[in-house]
Chains A and B, each alone.
Chain A
């Protein structure tokens, strides 16, 4: 069992604990009933996605300052995990909205800004995929990674800046009873650990992809030009 398999096993175990708390310990909400249990992972996934995009921001700034390949790999890894977690947030949010609002989607500020966030970082990944690998692509992607983060505070504050159908912040306004708050905090901690494990795995994949040429490249005998040593 490799180090990464062990980390994944630990993350899965923690998520199972969180799942058990969500389904068997958290009390049923008086108004929203059973669908309210979607809230725990929906919000935790959003916070973990924000954390990933903050890592992209930090790593992109570090890359532009030092041109460190490690920073570039970290940005690539965190962006992909952030997009996956934003997808989970959006899909769970839609399935939460249907029984509560009567529709899967509405173009309010929170939902729209979150969709824009997904598009920005999906675009970042597409840029990394399509551009010729090298210094120029990495620098351009770093700029996108920095400016893309502007949307994160917009998503967060959208419910206070504009009138939205999406509810306002419930955690910082002490709107959750202690049992629900406990389950939420455990779920958030487990989701953050899972996100960290996913970023660590993707970082290792990016490192190996940079170092090991693909079989097709080996076949034609033209290896990708290595980055200049820094």
Chain B
């Protein structure tokens, strides 16, 4: 049971972390792009 829980927690951390960082980067770049216009 412990391996099942750890496996899904790790998957959520990797995928969730990647999405969170990507959205943050996108937001920052969009703000910089609109500031340039």
Contact = CB atoms under 8 A, between A and B. Distances in A.
* A and B assemble together: yes
Interface residues of A, number: 35
A99 to B, nearest CB: 5
A62 B14 CA distance: 30
Nearest to A15: B15
Interface of B: 1, 3-4, 6-8, 10-11, 14-15, 18-19, 22-23, 25-26, 29-30, 32-33, 36
A76 interface: no
Contacts of A92: 7, 10-11
22 contacts: A5-B23, A38-B3, A88-B10, A88-B11, A91-B7, A91-B10, A91-B14, A95-B3, A95-B6, A194-B15, A198-B18, A198-B19, A201-B19, A201-B26, A202-B22, A205-B22, A205-B25, A208-B29, A209-B29, A212-B29, A212-B32, A215-B32
Given A84-B15, A202-B22, A205-B26, A95 B10 contact: yes
A194 B29 CA distance: 22
A91 B15 CA distance: 12
Question: Which residue among A8, A15, A95 has the maximum number of chain B CB atoms within 10 Å of its CB?
Answer: A95
